[in-house]
A = this chain, B = another copy of it.
Amino acid sequence: MAIRFARRMEWVKASEIRELLKVTQRPSVISLGGGLPAPESFPVAQLQEVAHALLAAHGPQSLQYSTTEGDPGLRAHIAARMNARLGTAVAADDVLVVTGSQQGLDLTGRMLLDEGDALLCESPTYLGAIQAFACYGPRFVEVPTDDDGMLPEALDRRLAAHPNAKLVYVIPDVQNPSGRTWSLERRHAFMEVVARYDVAVLEDSPYSEFRFDGGPLPSLKSLDRHGQVTFLGTFSKVFGPGLRVGWVAAPPAMRDRYTLLKQGADLHTSTFNQMLIAAFIDRFDLDAHIGRIRELYRRRRDVMLAALDEEMPDGVRTTRPLGGLFVWVELPEGLNTRELLVRCLERDVAFVPGGSFFPNGGHDNTMRLNFSNASEERIRTAVGRIAEVVRAAIAELEPAEAAVASA
């Protein structure tokens, strides 16, 4: 007797990095590895109050089955907030609540991707999205990306070269992992290119509320004139990812299909958690709450950038993120951050090797550092230890390589 698996199980691989990072659960380890929000930013006392009131007023309803589409009150809040901040014109009925934005990734892959279809993405791109999409067997096509976003001409060439491209997946606001934010000009240019092709766009936007200065830029969704863009949002960085509540705002041609696929996948997202968030927004000042988180993260980013500037040797490049949770670091060629991670773990400090964020591999000299989940003091300590390991590794490079690296 043997279990016979579906062919897609060959495409789905355990992340060796996730395995390696399991040791970071030891309290002695300072992890810049995960993408965890600061737990001290969660509105625990307010949620306690809201949970009590919700169960008192709507206990049975909040624990009962509900519609796949989601709680009407929450959908209205989401639409209003998107329209006010991101320039969209989304109705509450356009919003489907999902079980964390990870589910939005899965449902998008499920709706669009047959085996072998091309999926275009930034280079690097979000690791969780690679994992979600891999299950549907696409060919990942990385599109060159600079500090202003995806390069429109490069995108155009790739769309022309891949007539089976079904989906362009992008994170225009303080991207994970690179920390980059697309310029307004680049957003317009991107939309002009995709409008020439029969291709859907997934705009993953977990951090649009976490641009530290000047507020969010118009979302791609707000610039969409052809019903191409699905917007993916989440409350994970606002209330805590432990509630698993995100949303999809899809164009008309895709909206009911998302609902149908979600019905098969998990019926609906927790009624209780949806009503809890809606009640919080009714009762408290969400903008003020998010503003406090932004200030906390801004200070941590500043501490991290200052520590990197001070501690890292010449030849190391870092992005200057306008917000979000991450700084992206590029070490001299020839260094391998997977090897450096092993050495760092011996020193009780962790990060994610950047190669994990490139679906087709390479870029082994890069790393992603998270600044949201550690105190300023621990960020300084961790960057100091990582820099020590980097300096030692550079010194070990062959003299010729080292000369090139520091040139």
Listed in ascending order, the chain A residues whose CB lies under 8 Å from chain B are 1-9, 12-14, 34, 36-37, 39-40, 42, 44, 47-48, 51-52, 55-56, 59-66, 99-100, 102-103, 106, 110-114, 117, 128, 131-132, 134-136, 166, 195, 197-200, 226-228, 236, 239-244, 251, 253-254, 256-257, 260-261, 263-273
Contacts and interface: CB of A to CB of B under 8 A. Distances in A.
A55 B45 CA distance: 8
Given A99-B99, A111-B9, A263-B131, A47 B63 contact: yes
Given A40-B60, A65-B242, A166-B4, A267 B198 contact: no
Nearest to A60: B39
Given A63-B239, A270-B242, A1 B56 contact: no
A3 B228 contact: yes
A127 to B, nearest CB: 11
Contacts of A114: 6-8
A195 B3 CA distance: 11
A6 B107 CA distance: 11
Given A3-B198, A48-B56, A200-B3, A39 B61 contact: yes
B48 A64 contact: no
Nearest to A269: B244
Contacts of A42: 59-60, 63-64
A310 to B, nearest CB: 31
B64 A4 contact: no
A241 B65 contact: yes
Given A132-B264, A244-B268, A48 B39 contact: no
Given A111-B5, A242-B63, A273-B273, A264 B106 contact: yes
A128 B37 CA distance: 35
A38 to B, nearest CB: 9
A44 B60 contact: yes
Contacts of A199: 4
Lowest 7 CB-CB distances: which A-B pairs, in order?
Answer: A63-B240, A39-B60, A242-B271, A44-B59, A63-B242, A48-B55, A1-B226
Given A112-B5, A197-B1, A198-B4, A264 B44 contact: no
Nearest to A114: B6
A78 to B, nearest CB: 18
Nearest to A41: B60
Nearest to A257: B9
B56 A8 contact: no
A336 B131 CA distance: 46
5 contacts: A4-B166, A48-B55, A110-B135, A135-B264, A242-B272
A134 B59 contact: no
